[in-house]
Structure 1
Amino acid sequence: MDAIDTSHTQSMDELAASLRTLGMNEVPSFPNTYPTLNPTDLYRAHITEKLAPITGADPSVIYPVLQWTSTLDKGDIILPVPALRLKGKKPDAVAQEIVEKFPESPLVEKPIAEKTFIKFFFKPGPLAKIVLPSILKNGSAYGFNPSSGLRDPSDPSKGRKRIIVEFSSPNIAKPFHAGHLRSTIIGGFLSNLYEGAGWDVTRMNYLGDWGKQYGVLALGFQKFGSEEELEKNPIGHLYDVYVKISKIQKEEDDNKVADGVSEQARQYFKRMVDGDEEALGVWKRFRDMSIKKYKQTYGRLNIHYDEYSGESQIKDESMDAAAKIMEEKGVSEMSDEAVIVDLTKYSKKLGKAVVKKKDGTSLYLTRDIGAAVERMDKFHFDKMIYVVASQQDLHLAQLFKIMEAMGRKDIAERCQHINFGMVMGMSTRKGTAKFLDDILQEVGEKMHEVMKTNQSKYEQVTDPEATSDILGISAVMVQDMSGKRCVKRAPSTDELAPHRGC
């Protein structure tokens, strides 16, 4: 395990020296706080010290309920008095008592009571004296707390906690569209956050790269494909091919054509499953082209991955071993020649999940079960986050419960689903998706036009086009994240669901 570099961290002696200029003889502290890394930690510890004798509450109760505020009008820190759980005292009366008895402080102004809440405001001068030296000493590392990611803060040799963040996860051979952006931004942010907190982070892109739909694509390329167009614009051409063959497939399905695209695609995918070299060769070519293009798009968004995984990478042995455990433990059962897991015994909302089709082929859920076990074996993670749209709330709830029922509570309890609302009206099958590269190009050009309106400032920019591109990308990301994360929207009608991608 790599050692954590704290050579540029402000020392406790340096922080203590800053506090002595303010008339404080020692650094207020509390368990699991890091004032040398985050100087504002000492404010909560300082306020806790002052509140304990006034309220009679134990410091271990006071400290956790001191909250950072969302808007400055509520103060820098706010105390909900009822959270102190003081018996026999009315919260509003306690609030008034705190205001009256709170002593003069070198760090905070006189507190303000608002009903049952106490608002604390930091004194600007002392705040600058405490924080600015830390910023200057830590530089770009300011705000990071590598110690909090240690398995044991008192013993760094025990290593860091490990987390897998699985996000973005588009379907191969299809352009990266606006629907993927939300998962990408949230996942990238969470990865950076945990990394800043000292965790060992694995950023994983779990590609949708397996299933009958790739039989559809292969048939479409046989009918409409052009090697020349594929070389010029591989992803764009494959997308056009997919839209055309999907239109034929829908017409045939509506007319109940027996041996149409759907059946031929099923047979093609069966060849892939059986290891047919020709079928797998076509599929691998499309996969490699897709990853190469995706890396370019992620690069523009300042996103990177440690691992490109995918449904195709899950070993048959992992799925077979999971199937055997489920059968032996009575978790799974036969139903109309298919294998299912009846989860209604745990919750009616979970329903019944199919884990193997009648023809013996695996499903998306089957591969997810195998993937979770393989990841634990490989990474020994302490936490795994799936950043996936709310469309798959049920799917992931079923996955976690099945893992628990299999006896893999060690995995289930470490998994978390971070969901978000879908982007409406996006369907690659129907050809209605808005591609991210096109969006970024448009906003970049618009930003360039805006920059030109101030000629004097425009002339001072070294590379206007690169700057406008960065501004455009930032604007798109901020705009997409300005709404509430979990507002549910109409799900995509794309037939590639239920994979993570759209």
Structure 2
Amino acid sequence: MDKLQVQLQALGLGPDLPEIAGLLASGLGCDAGTAYEAINLATDLELGDLFVILPKLKLQGLPPAAECIRNLPNSPLFSTPYVDGVQLRFFFGNRKLASLLLPYIAERNTSYGRKDVLGLRDSTDPGAGKKRIVVEFSSPNIPGKFNGNHLRSTLLGQFVANIYESMGWEVVRLNYLGDWGKPYALFAVGWERFGDEEKLQQDPLGHILEVYTKIEDEFKPEMDASRQAKKDGHSTEDIESKGIFAERDEIFRKMEAGDEKTLALWQRLRDYAIGSLGTAYQRLGIEFTEYDGESQVKSETMDEIEAKLRDNGVYEESDGSWVINFDKHGVKGLGTQIIRGRTGSSTYLLRDIAAVLDRDKKYNFDEMIYVVSSRQNSHFLQVFKALELIGRADLAGKLRHESFGEIRGLTDHLHKPLLLGNILDECGDIMCGVAKKDLGDDISEHALAVMGDPTAIAGLVAQDMFGKRAQGYIFTPGRMTSLEGESGLKLQQHHLLLSSAISELRAQVEVMATELNYAALEDEGSTNLLRILAQYPDVTAATYKSLEPHALLTYLSRLADAITDILGEESDDEYEDEAGPSDAQATEDGPEVLKVKLALYESAKVVLEGGMGLLGFPVVIA
């Protein structure tokens, strides 16, 4: 065990819980886990760094707040707390905080703010291995557009995977492609009419979307007629037994029957699409463990599910289709859903239920999260309930749907076909256009090319994570290019400034065993930055619990502001020094002071980069 850990444990500041939880547990006799739940981060640092809600500690008799303060052990990390109603508010101590925090961050480096123990199967036995989570996200339909829901799923899904990975879980990143079913069969009808091999090789996803859009337009009159017949209470069988309806259904029947020619075309187009998608995902820094899809669901698994539904008296025949009437089984509002259509084809719902069983066998996961739009809320309730109806409540209990609101306005500002690569290209053009306007000839074409993707991604991520996941938003280029508030460009800019300041200090400081002068960090700017850095593990723990990225983004914005404040103060000091430094100012530039400033800046960079990485922000290299 290293010297720092011994020192922390001697102070009652164990690494497994936020430090203050240990103090509360030892001083007040409450459960450490309960204490952890009672701790909150202060958003206004003038009122303290942390506050504890006393009723949440569940103390017997709830002693007066003043008595609670008297019972708390002293800690060099915190000054004596003060009472604020039913809350105790804590400030971090200045010099002692720096002497403990900076070496701790330096030692843990990129592990600071991560709690690997949360991902262990047995927290007392690391040899038992990690828990495994499957995160399904992005999941575009191969013959369709990469719409706003797919974009949000991609950005938020990568964040969810990152935060679980940071807490020690083994993460399976799964892209469940819409590569089967009647939409693909409709595309195959279109391919016979509009497909062009040369265009497919030049721009696979672009040509696939072009073909699909054309056949959708031709199919629309038939779809409208079918919908009107349903609305009027008439049978749709005559309409759907001819024309494009019949061509589509015949192709899908052949697909499910294993027709070699039909499947050969499907496989070739799927391979082209995955290759193009993979290139676009690489630009985002995303690497999927597996490209899964509806096509990969095993037919024997679907047969097994249907057999269990029949055995359990849940499966009903209705107008030639096989259905589940969820209202009859204790779930009001989910209605009657088709599991297998009257043509004998499987449905999206049946394939999704079967996919859960297939993944359980393949990955033996502890949890599975679907990062999918709130439009699919009812669908996932149906999946989870269907698993219970076939006797797999244990499996249903491992599943979660982390939903989100929708993006609106993409097509108002982006004019190329909605594909992921095109979205990144056009957002990059927007960011580079602003840079060119502001800097003119001072920025080279090479610099513009290098900054395109990183700044575009930062703008997209920051705009997406500005509010809670449940909130939809309107895509606005002006918010992408802003340097104000919780801005992606702001974080990248401050990361560059901090990196530059670190390089300058490293050039001045010799590598020597010089003691750090922590007293040099007692100014307001340094103290504020230290207090924000000390909050990072609690911010990441809260983010892991809520899976809400906006709180972490807000924290990083506060961190960036604190970095600006301290770098700005030093720039002002240097300007004043040009008039003639005093002896005291010359002393401030000694190696002990320079090294402690370097330690502070390097710690700030570790936290800024770590938080940006969790959210999916790329850093810009100068």
TM over 0.5: yes
Contact 1:342 1:352 in 2 (8 A): yes
**Aligned counterpart, 1:291:** 274
Unaligned runs of 5+ residues in structure 1 are 1-10, 20-24, 36-40, 491-502
Distance 1:322 1:48 in 2: 49
Offset, 1:326: 1.5
Aligned to 1:412: 396
Identify the residue that residue 42 of structure 1 maps to in structure 2: 19
- Matching residue's letter, 2:359: R
Using the TM superposition, give the Cα deviation of residue 42 of structure 1 relative to its aligned residue in structure 2, in angstroms: 2.4
Distance 1:183 1:336, change over 3 A: same
Q: For structure 1, which segment, 307-316 or 468-477, has the greater mean C-alpha deviation from structure 2 after superposition? A: 468-477
User: What are the equivalent positions in structure 2 for 1:62-81 lying under 5 Å apart?
Assistant: 62-70=35-43, 72=45, 75-81=48-54
- 1:15 pairs with 2:5: yes
Instruction: After TM superposition, give the deviation of residue 370 of structure 1 in Å.
Output: 1.1
Query: What is the distance in 2 between the residues matched to 1:191 and 1:471?
Result: 22
The 8 Å contact of residues 206 and 417 in structure 2, kept in 1 or not, is answered as: no
Which residue does 1:347 correspond to in 2? Answer: 331
User: How many residues are treated as equivalent by the alignment?
Assistant: 456
Deviations 1:218-265 (Å, cap 9, x if unpaired)? 221222222222222121112111111111101233356662222211
Whether the aligned pair in 2 keeps the contact of 1:440 and 1:476 (CA below 8 Å) is no
Residue ranges of structure 2 left out of the alignment (5+ in a row):
227-238, 475-622
1:365 aligns with 2:345: no
Secondary structure, aligned partner of 2:316: strand
| Equivalent AA in structure 1 for residue 4 of structure 2 | E
Greater CA drift, 218-227 or 385-394? 218-227
Match of 1:3 in 2: none
Q: What are the equivalent positions in structure 2 for 1:87-166 lying under 5 Å apart?
A: 89=62, 94-98=64-68, 105-166=75-136
Amino acid at match of 1:219: V
Separation of aligned partners in 2, 1:103 and 1:162: 39
2-structure distance, mates of 1:393, 1:425: 23
Q: Map of 1:216-227 to 2, 5 A cutoff?
A: 216-227=186-197
Q: Superposition RMSD on alpha carbons, in Å?
A: 2.9
Per-residue CA shift, 1:144-187, capped at 9, x if unaligned?
Answer: 33232111122222211111111110011345344311111111
Give the drift of 1:71: 5.2
Aligned counterpart in structure 1 of residue 387 of structure 2, from 394, 403, 422: 403
Structural mapping, 1:226-375, within 5 Å? 226-255=196-225, 259-344=242-327, 345-375=329-359
2:450 paired with 1:466 = yes
Decide whether the 8 Å contact of 2:130 with 2:168 is kept in 1: yes
The Cα offsets for residues 309-349 of structure 1, whole Å up to 9 and x where unpaired, read as: 10010111001011111211223222333222222232212
Kindly tell me: are residues 81 and 303 of structure 1, through their superposed partners in 2, closer, same or farther at Cα, counting changes over 3 Å? same
The DSSP-based 3-state class of the residue aligned with 1:348 is: coil
Whether the 8 Å contact between 2:51 and 2:88 is mirrored in structure 1 is yes
DSSP-derived class of the 2:26 partner: helix
Contact kept in structure 1, 2:277 and 2:420, CA below 8 Å: no
Between 1:338-347 and 1:403-412, the stretch displaced more is 338-347
- Give the aligned residue type for 2:16: Y
Maintained 8 Å contact 2:416/2:422: no
Larger mean Cα displacement after TM superposition, 468-477 or 163-172: 468-477
Q: Distance in 1 between matches of 2:183 and 2:429?
A: 36
Is the Cα contact below 8 Å between 1:215 and 1:266 reproduced in 2?
yes
d(CA) in 1 for partners of 2:440 and 2:25?
Answer: 54
- Give the secondary-structure state (helix, strand or coil) at the position aligned to 2:470: coil
Q: Residue 297 of structure 1 aligns to which amino acid in structure 2?
A: A
CA contact (8 A) 1:174 1:290 kept: no
Amino acid in structure 2 at the alignment position of 1:305? F
Q: Distance in 2 between matches of 1:436 and 1:179?
A: 12
Provide the identity percentage. Answer: 37
Q: Are 1:150 and 1:199, in contact at CA under 8 Å, matched by a contact in 2?
A: yes
Q: Is the 8 A contact 1:334 1:340 kept in 2?
A: yes
Separation of aligned partners in 2, 1:338 and 1:252: 21
Contact (CA 8 Å) 1:204, 1:307: kept in 2 or not? yes
Instruction: Report if aligned partners of 2:23, 2:72 keep a CA contact under 8 Å in 1.
Output: no
Contact residue 425 and residue 432 of structure 1 kept, 8 A: no
Change (3 A) 1:411 1:446: same
The answer to whether the Cα contact below 8 Å between 2:25 and 2:31 also exists between their aligned partners in 1 is: no
